[in-house]
Amino acid sequence: MDTGWQYRIASVGGVAVLVTVAVMLVNNGTVQATVSMVPVVGWLPVDPPAGAEFVIEVVLTVAVVAGAFIPLYKPRPRRILDIIALAHKRVFVAVFALATIGYFDYTYKVPRLTLVLITPILLVILPAWFIWLRRPEARSERAIVVGDDPSQIADIARSTELPLLGYLCPTTVQALTRGEPTGGHETAPTELARAADGGHQAGLARIGGLSRLEDVLVAQDIDTVVLAFVENDRAEFFGALDACYEHGVAAKVHPDHADTVLTASPDPNATLVDVEIEPWDIQDYLFKRGFDVAFALGGLVVLSPVIAVIALAVKLEDGGPVLYRQQRTAVFGETFPIFKFRSMTPEGESATPIADDDNDRITRVGRFLRQTHLDEIPQLWSILRGDMSVVGPRAVWTEEEHLLEEEAETWRKRWFVKPGLTGLAQINDASSVDPRAKLRYDLQYVRKQSFAYDIKIVARQLWKVGVDVWATLTGRTEQ
């Protein structure tokens, strides 16, 4: 039987069995009597159904929950966190549907105590079931090669044991595999031509161009993407990494083309090595995101009086806008808008980094805000939205990126993690004025990142902000 249908049958069957067990559990007399002693739910009537009434309750609950989970039955690549979020959403849809049915037709009413008790159980067991179904060892691995380097594609096609379905590459590389002239390129390597025509991987063929990557990942339920790019710091490379990240697909590279920022101690004897697209494990990720939300919410609430005073001061100084909006670069080259308190006059904006002491566009209020870091407060909203984290490489203005890349060739390696309000570069006073020093600190953070490391950086940054605020208020800033 096709593995796709096996997955569908297993997922539907598992939902039905788990929901049945959950309904039976929460309708147990002992369980309900025990729960009734809890003050919060003790007011709900304890009346476990029996006979035909219980059968109707089980069948109705299974049917509604199974129907609500239809979007999860189709096999497709998903990140674990996306599976959890989608499963939780479908549980609430099902519970709401059951409550609505009972409201309009008492014959099919599921007792309120049953609904209250079954909801947290389903929120745990159903996401766990779908995560277990998508575990790597339970799937028949499906892989593709994505890249623009004919020699790498040929090497991978000959040497890997992965079941390759084909490869994606630009049109020029497709022409190379056929030995056709491509305007500026030489004739194709015969190795790739043989691989494409049925060499080591018989039947390996071009599936399409790089723009079709996400469609192929979903339609073919791809597990692994092997990257074969000439340069691993160009837009196409990061576009492929971004697609893998969004869909929870593993990424691999040939050891000869592995990067120490991307891979941890690559084994030169291995055919392929893993790319650490998501270096955070699930526990650290949840801790990090939880800390981000708590920090941003707490900061916005505690600093609300300060925010009001700053907004008034900025407005009164020159009558201009209070906030400054700018597009910044995020993970894998995506962009997002950030907001800061305006600290400069709007005219004459330039992408070239300038030290504050040499910038005559900074206003009087703006200079105070920049010295005390208070102009950064509105970025707490970006953290709350999930565009940024509290700790990470500084998000750079998109117009400034290409200038910094000219100064530091591997600048784009900073894109491997979400940008942050503070980071290792910031606490060491490394800014875009010295891109090489900034890049060195940012890559050090990419390699060493962990939740505990984040907390140390935040502690140092808070101390630094306190020192800067005190120095500014007492007039002890450096001249």
Do 293 and 268 lie in one domain? The reply is: no
Do 160 and 269 lie in one domain? The reply is: yes
Both tokens of 67, joined, read 């129907």
What is the helix (H) or strand (E) element at residue 147, kind and residue range? strand 143-147
- Is the predicted pLDDT of residue 170 greater than 70, yes or no? yes
What is the helix (H) or strand (E) element at residue 442, kind and residue range? helix 435-448
Burial-class residue 361 by CB neighbours within 10 Å (0-12, 13-18, 19+).
Answer: middle
- Torsion angle (degrees, nearest 10) of CA 166, 167, 173, 178: -10
Neighbours of 191 (CB within 10 A): 17
Both tokens of 161, joined, read 């044991």
Per-residue pLDDT band at 190 (split at 50, 70, 90)? very low
Mean pLDDT is lowest, of 14-23, 220-229, 252-261, 457-466, for 252-261
Do 214 and 257 lie in one domain? The reply is: yes
Distance, first Cα to last Cα, the chain = 76
**Structural domain contains residue 94:** yes
pLDDT confidence of residue 172:
61
pLDDT tens digits along 233-282: 666 777 788 788 778 888 888 777 666 556 655 566 677 877 776 655 56
pLDDT confidence of residue 184:
42
> Which residue is listed with tokens 């939740």?
451
> Which residue is listed with tokens 């009001």?
308
Residue 18: which of 65, 53, 56 has the closest Cα? 65
**Structural domain contains residue 430:** yes
pLDDT tens digits along 305-335: 999 998 898 888 877 888 888 888 777 777 8
pLDDT tens digits along 76-127: 888 787 889 899 999 999 999 988 887 776 666 778 778 888 999 999 999 9
Phi then psi for residue 252, to 5 deg, are: -130, 160
**3 state DSSP class of 422:** strand
Mean pLDDT is lowest, of 102-116, 214-228, 343-357, for 343-357
pLDDT tens digits along 47-57: 667 778 888 88
Do 80 and 205 lie in one domain? The reply is: no
Do 153 and 130 lie in one domain? The reply is: no
> What DSSP designation does 128 have?
H
Half-sphere exposure of 350 (CA within 13 A, CB side): 9
Do 123 and 185 lie in one domain? The reply is: no
Mean pLDDT, all residues of the chain? 78
Do 347 and 382 lie in one domain? The reply is: yes
**Structural domain contains residue 478:** no
**3 state DSSP class of 391:** strand
User: Which of the two residues, 161 and 232, has the higher pLDDT score?
Assistant: 161
Q: Are strands 335-341 and 323-329 parallel, antiparallel or unpaired?
A: antiparallel
Number of domains in the chain: 3
Do 145 and 132 lie in one domain? The reply is: no
Last residue within a domain, chosen from 89, 104, 137 = 137
Last residue within a domain, chosen from 110, 137, 164 = 137
Neighbours of 348 (CB within 10 A): 9
| Distance of alpha carbon 196 from alpha carbon 188, whole angstroms | 12
Last residue within a domain, chosen from 89, 113, 137 = 137
Both tokens of 310, joined, read 């700053």
Phi then psi for residue 239, to 5 deg, are: -65, -40
Domain extent at residue 159: 141-275
Do 212 and 256 lie in one domain? The reply is: yes
User: Which of the two residues, 28 and 293, has the higher pLDDT score?
Assistant: 293
